[in-house]
């Protein structure tokens, strides 16, 4: 039994990053799906899309309604309707809530929450126009479950993503449209490394200690590990799963105390 995304066009927002994006796109591609890579920068999206069979690139800011409408028009003209969306585009902050500026708060919520709503709204309207089923996967975070210093604003946005996921599942089930979230633990990306660098003088050491202390499984979660779960949730194998947030975190969210404290 294999995950089969044959004949499905899948939009991956923020797909040109160097963290989760490639792992998600690869998994969709390997399952037979056609990958449509969105990102802010067209050249970066084109370079990423060129790695996948029939890959298509669309540039646009997910937090701007006009960009999202144009992207969906471009996709429709170039490869027809889409059957799945992975809302992966997202930014972090790494600042104490009381130190953050209003513009930083708004920007984070615009991309991490409003962006998901705008892309999902455009996708669902297209599905309803064509009387089609579909699957939406939102990339959340372990920070939506428990959080840490300097993450309150990001954690609250990712908690909103989980809430949006549940609510969309409730509202869209009647149309056979599913909505789930994947909540990764630490995954390498330049973005995550630079945020960790805001408090850790040696981010690589901090990440190594995180693996030893704050995961049940003693290896790093890869972007592809998350991509495999995303591909499953996009496929008909998961047809009875909706409204769920699945933690892909090597057990981070199970731990009450760090390993060295209790072993
Ligand atoms: N790396 C981790 O440890 C980790 C853990 C949990 C959750 N996440 C989440 O995974 C997702 C991907 O993050 P990543 O770590 O792979 O970082 P990344 O920076 O490699 O990928 C994010 C991509 O989104 C794009 N992007 C940013 N704003 C955008 C916008 N407004 N419109 C379109 N594209 C935009 C960026 O250009 C980038 O290519 C994010 O939602 C992040 O919150 C990451």
Report the pLDDT value the prediction gives residue 85, as an integer from 0 to 100: 99
Sheet holding 9-12, edge to edge: 56-59, 34-39, 9-12, 84-87, 134-139, 177-184, 245-248
Q: What is the pLDDT of residues 88-105, one digit of tens each?
A: 999 999 999 999 999 999
pLDDT tens for each residue of 3-33: 999 999 999 999 999 999 999 999 999 999 9
Any atom of ligand 1 within 6 Å of the Cβ of 250? no
Neighbours of 213 (CB within 10 A): 15
Kindly report the protein residue whose alpha carbon is nearest to atom 25 of ligand 1: 14
- Give distance in angstroms: CA of 142 to centre of ligand 1: 14
Which is the closest atom of ligand 1 to the Cα of 87?
A: 41
Percent pLDDT > 70 in the chain is 100
Catalytic residue chosen out of the listed positions 52, 154, 186, 247 = 154
Question: Does the C-beta of 192 come closer than 6 Å to ligand 1?
Answer: yes
Span 195-251, pLDDT tens digits: 999 999 999 999 999 999 999 999 999 999 999 999 999 999 999 999 999 999 999
Is residue 16 in contact with ligand 1, taking CB distance under 6 Å?
yes
Q: Give residue 263's pLDDT band: very low, low, confident or very high (50, 70, 90).
A: confident
Question: Is the C-beta atom of 193 inside 6 A of ligand 1?
Answer: no
Q: What is the pTM of this model?
A: 0.98
Distance between CA atoms of 75 and 81, rounded to whole angstroms? 7
What domains are there in the chain, each with its CATH number?
A: 9-262 (3.40.50.720)
> In this predicted model, what pLDDT tens digit does every residue of 52-63 receive, in sequence order?
999 999 999 999
Which one of 12, 13, 16, 19 would you pick to mutate in the ligand 1 pocket, going by the greatest count of ligand atoms within 8 A of its CB?
Answer: 19
Query: Residue of the nearest CA to atom 38 in ligand 1?
Result: 17
- Please tell me the distance between residue 262's alpha carbon and the centre of ligand 1 in angstroms: 34
Active site residue 154: yes
């Amino acid at each position: 039994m294999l995950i089969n995304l044959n004949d499905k066009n899948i939009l991956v927002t923020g797909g040109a990053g160097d963290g989760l994006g490639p792992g998600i796109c690869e998994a969709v591609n390997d399952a037979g799906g056609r990958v449509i890579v969105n990102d802010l920068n067209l050249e970066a999206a084109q370079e990423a899309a060129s790695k996948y069979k029939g890959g298509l690139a669309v540039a646009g800011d997910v937090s701007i309604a006009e960009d999202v409408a144009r992207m969906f028009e471009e996709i429709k003209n170039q490869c027809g309707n889409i059957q799945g969306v992975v809302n992966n585009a997202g930014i972090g902050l790494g600042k104490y809530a009381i130190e953050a500026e209003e513009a930083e708060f708004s920007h984070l919520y615009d991309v991490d929450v409003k962006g998901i709503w705008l892309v999902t709204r455009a996708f669902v309207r297209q599905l309803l126009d064509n009387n089609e089923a579909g699957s939406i996967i939102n990339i959340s975070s372990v920070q939506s479950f428990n959080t840490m210093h300097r993450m309150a604003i990001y954690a609250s946005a990712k908690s909103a993503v989980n809430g949006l996921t549940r609510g969309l599942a409730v509202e869209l089930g009647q149309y056979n449209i599913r909505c789930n979230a994947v909540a990764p633990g630490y995954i390498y990306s330049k973005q995550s490394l630079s945020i960790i660098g805001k408090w850790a003088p040696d981010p690589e050491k901090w990440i190594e200690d995180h693996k030893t202390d704050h995961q049940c499984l003693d290896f790093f979660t890869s972007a592809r590990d998350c991509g495999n779960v995303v591909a499953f949730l996009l496929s008909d194998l998961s047809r009875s799963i909706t409204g769920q947030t699945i933690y892909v975190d090597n057990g981070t969210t199970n731990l009450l105390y760090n390993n060295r404290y209790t072993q």
